[in-house]
Amino acid sequence: MQLTPLIAIHLAAALSAVALGPVALWARKGRVQRARLHRAAGYAWVTLMLATAISAIFIRDYQLPNWAGFTWIHLFVPLTLAGLFGAFRALYLKDISRHQKIMQSLYVSACLGAGAFTLLPGRYLGQLVWGQWLGLL
């Protein structure tokens, strides 16, 4: 597998979402509420997560155990899309607490969890980061 434009888009969107997520979450914490920053960072984060999830559908790995090129990490795609839908549905229903819980869970599972699994040494991006870029493998 090579670093194709599709994988580069996926990687850029995912890394940007990892970096931007805390800004969106932090903007609504504490005494000072930064509603405009929260909303702007939140919409940007959702857009990045959609780009990450949709691009992941087209990235296939036939070297690891798979089903038609889809590996177990592709399970994060429908979970991410369902979570984003649920978070916006909670906003529509004015259930802010549920929206908050869903978005926090999405950040931890879809950004940090999937990112950690993606960077395992046996996976393509893991080999790229740990082996080629850092020279640790």
SS (H, E, C) 91-109: HHCCCHHHHHHHHHHHHHH
Mean pLDDT along residues 123-130: 83
93 half-sphere exposure, CB direction, 13 A CA radius: 11
| pTM for the structure as a whole | 0.87
Distance CA 75, CA 82 (A): 11
Residue 10, C-beta contacts closer than 8 angstroms, at least 6 positions apart: 51, 52, 55, 56, 59
The pLDDT confidence band at residue 118, using thresholds 50, 70 and 90, is: confident
First to last CA, the chain: 17
pLDDT of residue 70: 82
pLDDT of residue 1: 67
Mean pLDDT along residues 59-88: 86
